[in-house]
Amino acid sequence: MMGDLVWILVSAMLVNNFTLALFLGLCPFMGVSARVATALRMGAANIFVLVITSMTAWVLNTFVLGAAPYLRLISFIVVIASLVQIVEIAIKKISPTLFRELGIFLPLITTNCAILGLAIFQTNRGYGFLEGLFFAVGAGLGLTLALVLMASIREQTELATVPSLAKGMGLVLIIAGSLSLAFMGFAGLFSS
Amino acid sequence: MRATTPTYDLTRGFWRENPVLVQLLGLCPALAVTNTVANSLAMGLATFFVLVGSSLLVSTLKNLIPHEVRISAYILIIATFVTVADLVLAAVVPDIHKALGAFIALIVVNCMILGRQEAFASKRPVGRALLDAIGTGAGFTVALLMMGGIREILGYGTFLGRPLLGASYEPWIVMILPPGGFFTLGFILLGFGWWESRRQQRSVVRDWPHGVGSTTRRTA
């Protein structure tokens, strides 16, 4: 049982990395990966929202959606977006420091495809509550890892002499491709 | 908002402001499902349908939707059309539906669709919103087909499943794997950038009297 959970975590983090293998959450990956400090905060906020999402999706799937599966997409979106708003208000009240750290990222993350993607994958694979939690944490750690790696490379490219043509998204995409290529190597971790 | 002609509304999204190649919106499906032409086509058409349907409905209901909850209302409308597209694809082309998997549901969070509702359909008459949706949707589909074509030809040596490059061709497996998506789009963008800078140099040369004193060399 424990082994399965660890497998889910490592697999979501490295082998099926959300950003580099499944292309989920590309907007923050391109948008806020210019500085390592920002990337770390974005990653933390992501892990936070992913865990909330996983729990919400489990509750909806188990208690509500059995009778009306065709409403799944609509209810996921509405319930997750509202819940993140509520949690945001609560954090603002309880811990202003944490709110400043996660800050503006929370509402942005809600419309990120990684969030809805996690809820849908979790449903399709039939994960239970605990499995879902490990899946969410693994996916969040994977997103953070990809963001931080990308940010550190981009900080270096600012000092390098890049051809004027490649300044901008073209270069970022090619760096992302190389990172993705490196992550393909993790597929060999589980050869059973 | 600046007045525009109907032709401009229709063609803008197709080329000048192409959602994928120029605005870099909707990258998630553009990279994830473009490993074959058939998948790209199905994804492009599904997104086209959702965009046109939501633009029509949002534009029709724009005076009834309260300003404060407009984004949630748009998302609900989009999610409804995505559910329809999902069920139709599952019934008509089950194989492709299986290959696209969760990415059909993820059309909901394609920022290009929400962007068109907020920036255009909610402010314009129904006819113009329809033209804009058709142009943008077609631009998105063409960009996906471009990616899918390059990746399938290089990655499998086939086009729409038919052998194209002969038996002696050694497929570039990497093109159909995730890194291939990043590389293909990256090189397309670099190519566009190169083409654009050449065009600007030429226009400097053409408007010669005004180009005097610019650092551009006369190349022609």
Contacts of A178 in chain B (CB under 8 A): 179
Taking the CA atoms of A174, B189, B24 and B29 in sequence, report the sign of the dihedral they define: negative
Is the pLDDT at A5 greater than 50, yes or no?
A: yes
- Which residue of chain B has the CA closest to A21? B178
- The DSSP bridge pattern shows strands B162-163 and B158-159 to be antiparallel
Q: What is the pLDDT of residue B208?
A: 58
Work out the minimum CA distance from B127 to partner chain A, whole angstroms.
Answer: 27
Residue range A1-6: average pLDDT? Answer: 80
* Whether B31 and A21 lie within 8 Å, measured CB to CB: no
* Whether A26 and B178 lie within 8 Å, measured CB to CB: no
Structural domains in chain A (count): 1
Number of neighbouring beta carbons within 10 Å of residue B184: 25
* Whether B109 and A111 lie within 8 Å, measured CB to CB: yes
Interface pTM (ipTM) of the complex? 0.82
Please name the helix (run of DSSP H) or strand (run of DSSP E) that holds residue A16, with its range, or none.
Answer: none
**Using CA atoms, how far apart are residues B67 and B25, in angstroms rounded to an integer?**
24
In this structure, is residue A10 part of a structural domain? yes
Pull the structure tokens for residue A96. Answer: 């202003």
What are the pLDDT digits (tens) for A117-159? 898 889 888 888 999 999 999 999 999 999 899 989 888 888 8
Buried-exposed string B142-154: b where 16+ CB fall within 10 A, e elsewhere: bbbbbbbbbbbbb
In this structure, is residue A30 part of a structural domain? yes
**Using CA atoms, how far apart are residues A133 and A55, in angstroms rounded to an integer?**
7
Best probe of the B interface among A110, A162, A180, A186, by most B CBs < 10 A, is A180
Contacts of A112 in chain B (CB under 8 A): 109
The interface residues of chain B toward chain A in range 109-128, judged by CB-CB distance below 8 A, are 109-111, 114
Contact A77, A174 (CB under 8 A): no
In this structure, is residue A189 part of a structural domain? no
In this structure, is residue A17 part of a structural domain? yes
In this structure, is residue A73 part of a structural domain? yes
In this structure, is residue A77 part of a structural domain? yes
Taking the CA atoms of A9, A11, A13 and A18 in sequence, report the sign of the dihedral they define: negative
**Using CA atoms, how far apart are residues B59 and B66, in angstroms rounded to an integer?**
13
Q: What is the pLDDT of residue B80?
A: 92
Cα B194–chain centre separation? 21
Residue range A172-191: average pLDDT? Answer: 83
User: Which string of DSSP letters, residue by residue, matches B109-132?
Assistant: G-HHHHHHIIIIITTS-HHHHHHH
* Whether A165 and B193 lie within 8 Å, measured CB to CB: yes
pLDDT beneath 50: ranges in chain B:
213-214, 216-220
In this structure, is residue A125 part of a structural domain? yes
What are the pLDDT digits (tens) for B79-108? 999 999 999 999 999 998 988 888 888 888
Average pLDDT, chain B: 85
Work out the minimum CA distance from B3 to partner chain A, whole angstroms.
Answer: 31
- Across chain B, the runs of DSSP E, i.e. the strands, are 158-159, 162-163
Please name the helix (run of DSSP H) or strand (run of DSSP E) that holds residue A64, with its range, or none.
Answer: none
Domain that holds residue A121: 2-183
What are the phi and psi torsion angles at B159 (to 5°)?
A: -135, 120
How many interchain CB pairs under 8 A, A with B? 106
Q: At what angle do helices A113-125 and A72-94 cross, to 10 degrees?
A: 120
| Three-class SS state of A34 | coil
What are the pLDDT digits (tens) for A30-89? 777 778 887 888 888 888 889 988 998 999 988 888 887 788 888 888 888 788 778 888
**Using CA atoms, how far apart are residues B79 and A72, in angstroms rounded to an integer?**
10
B83 interface with A at CB cutoff 8 Å: yes
Q: What is the pLDDT of residue B207?
A: 61
In this structure, is residue A188 part of a structural domain? no
Is the pLDDT at A111 greater than 70, yes or no?
A: no
Cα B123–chain centre separation? 22
Contacts of A79 in chain B (CB under 8 A): none
Q: What is the pLDDT of residue B18?
A: 84
Contacts of A111 in chain B (CB under 8 A): 109, 111, 114
| Cα-based torsion angle of the residue sequence B97, B99, B105, B108 in order, rounded to the nearest 10 degrees | -110
B132 interface with A at CB cutoff 8 Å: no
Best probe of the B interface among A17, A26, A173, by most B CBs < 10 A, is A173
Half-sphere exposure of B150 (CA within 13 A, CB side): 19
* Whether A73 and B187 lie within 8 Å, measured CB to CB: no
